[in-house]
């Protein structure tokens, strides 16, 4: 059922007009009612995470009617075809009362669909795809709001829809695909598997001009790797981590209760303030290589070691630089007052194919990333060799994960997650270049800009692959209130001059 609204509505400082509202389901009869396996401790990590909002902006210099006649039908049909293989996105998250465990529920009927909204905007496309600071409220207008939770008649369970999609058309300039999904259903690697699969099918439909569902249904699935789901035995939990998470959910501490109220799916509160801005900071291939060489050389000079930090990854070098700039940008006054305070950096390690999880393939769909924390005193981070010291501890952590496994210390994950990240002294690297966001081509070319909108509060940053298709280059996304963002920008540019 389509809904038309011919009046432009204000969203932040931008104007939007709703053109169509759709509900997209898999092809009729393609997915039977399925009992999904129990959530794993990897999923419980993100049970009360905030919404994950991604936007992909594409150049399309044609009028509205051309988009509606050519691109939109392919977007909808390819989404339908792709969902038959990624059907957990159609499920709902069920939160029953204690002692029942949360679970995902999928039913094959007309209600199992994803809201798909098409809107038109008068925004300046070049402004939105730029790298300079943009108001978070404006950017969030390109991501849809998920449907509200459903409370069962007996009041015992809450059912939360997991995904919503919005396509925003900017006539004669471009369009944006915005996805709002709950992290409990998939981590970033699984989400990008879905996005690239959807894009692959859409690309093929546009190239072959086959708009008939019947023509394409038979060979669907040969054009991308199919997802593999948990069979109930694929992920073992010998340390009982899932029970730790459930106990925290059922009997939270006062501190955790406040955090859960703010971040759980039913919360209507937002994480960001009214004055937060998102900016992109670029490191091209040459700068990345110089950063790696500089860190390695400084490590050699400072330790008099015969072995430098060799073969440093782009992720390690960039993360060290960003972590140091982030810590320095937090407070420009009384900078020595908390020199002995501990600051935390959280990276997430993909567990697919690791020796503890050899049965989990690279195409596993769900959550399969483990948190790994690095801690340093502020005095060392803001010192002369702060970037070098940060790179060394991050590199050592990654080596430790390879040697001793990602599950070491996993029994403290629930408490670590709250105590280290919500103390204003923790920052998270939420995306890595390996996810390849800029490889998502729906048939109109690579995105002009990709954004993750879960950076609010200055508690996380992203490291994406380069949109310029420059192998080895990366772009870093940060969101702060304006003063801290200016501080960060100045520190980042100063570091670039040193290189």
Provide the annotated active-site residues.
Answer: 183, 441
Please give the Cα distance from 230 to 242 (Å, whole number): 15
Residue 340: how many CB atoms within 10 A of its CB?
8
Which residues neighbour 448 within 8 Å (Cβ) at sequence distance 6 or greater? 57, 58, 59, 129, 174, 467
Indicate if the alpha-carbon torsion angle 218, 220, 222, 228 is positive or negative: negative
* Sign of the dihedral through C-alpha 39, 42, 47, 53: negative
**Residues pairing with 428 in the sheet:** 346, 460
What DSSP state is assigned to residue 31?
S
- Distance of alpha carbon 260 from alpha carbon 384, whole angstroms: 39
Residue with tokens 């073992």: 236
Q: Which token pair is 462?
A: 């992203």
- Report, in this order, helix, strand and coil percent for the chain, each rounded to 5: 35, 25, 40
Q: Find out whether 67 and 120 touch, Cβ atoms under 8 Å.
A: no
Instruction: Report yes or no: 364 and 352 within 8 Å, Cβ to Cβ.
Output: yes
Pairing of β 14-24 and β 51-59? unpaired
Coil, helix or strand at residue 164: strand
Token pair for 251: 């009997």
- For residue 106, give the DSSP letter: B
Q: Which two tokens stand for residue 230?
A: 């948990």
The secondary structure element, H or E, covering residue 91 is none
């Amino acid at each position: 059922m389509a809904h038309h609204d011919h009046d432009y509505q204000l969203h932040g400082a931008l104007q939007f007009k709703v053109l169509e509202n759709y509900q997209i389901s898999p092809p009729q009869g393609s997915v039977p009612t399925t009992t999904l396996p129990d959530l794993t401790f990897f999923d419980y990590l993100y049970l009360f995470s905030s919404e994950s909002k991604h936007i992909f902006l594409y150049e399309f210099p044609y009028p509205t009617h051309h988009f509606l006649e050519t691109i939109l039908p392919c977007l909808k049909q390819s989404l339908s075809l792709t969902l038959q293989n990624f059907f957990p996105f159609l499920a709902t998250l069920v939160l029953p009362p204690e002692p029942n465990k949360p679970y995902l529920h999928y039913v094959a009927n007309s209600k199992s669909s994803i809201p798909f909204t098409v809107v038109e905007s008068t925004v300046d496309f070049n402004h939105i795809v730029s790298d300079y600071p943009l108001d978070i409220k404006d950017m969030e207008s390109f991501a849809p709001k998920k449907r509200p939770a459903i409370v069962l008649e007996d009041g015992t369970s809450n059912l939360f829809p997991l995904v919503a999609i919005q396509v925003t058309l900017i006539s004669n300039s471009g369009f944006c695909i915005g996805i709002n999904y709950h992290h409990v259903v998939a981590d970033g690697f699984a989400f990008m598997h879905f996005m690239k699969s959807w894009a692959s099918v859409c690309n093929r439909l546009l190239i072959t001009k086959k708009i008939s569902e019947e023509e394409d249904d038979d060979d669907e699935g040969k054009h991308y790797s199919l997802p593999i789901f948990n069979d109930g035995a694929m992920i073992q939990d010998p340390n009982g981590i899932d029970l730790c998470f459930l106990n925290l959910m059922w009997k939270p501490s006062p501190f955790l209760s406040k955090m859960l109220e703010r971040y759980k799916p039913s919360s209507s509160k937002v994480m960001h303030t009214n004055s937060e801005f998102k900016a992109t900071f670029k490191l091209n291939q040459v700068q990345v290589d110089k950063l790696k060489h500089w860190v390695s050389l400084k490590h050699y000079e400072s330790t008099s070691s015969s072995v430098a930090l060799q073969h440093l990854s782009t992720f390690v070098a960039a993360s060290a630089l960003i972590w140091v700039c982030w810590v320095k940008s937090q407070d420009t006054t009384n900078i020595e007052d908390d020199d002995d305070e501990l600051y935390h950096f959280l990276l997430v390690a993909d567990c697919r194919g690791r020796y503890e999880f050899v049965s989990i393939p690279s195409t596993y769909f769900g959550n399969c990333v483990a948190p790994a924390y690095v801690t340093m005193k502020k005095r060392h981070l803001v010192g002369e060799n702060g970037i070098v010291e940060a790179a060394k501890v991050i590199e050592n952590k990654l080596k430790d994960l390879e040697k001793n496994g990602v599950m070491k210390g996993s029994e403290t994950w629930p408490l670590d997650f709250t105590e280290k990240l919500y103390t204003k002294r923790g920052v998270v690297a939420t995306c890595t270049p390996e996810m390849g966001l800029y490889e998502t081509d729906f048939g109109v070319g690579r995105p002009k800009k990709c954004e993750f909108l879960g950076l609010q509060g200055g508690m996380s940053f992203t490291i994406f692959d380069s949109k310029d298709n420059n192998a080895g280059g990366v772009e870093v996304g940060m969101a702060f209130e304006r003063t801290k963002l200016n501080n960060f920008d100045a520190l980042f540019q100063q570091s670039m001059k040193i290189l």
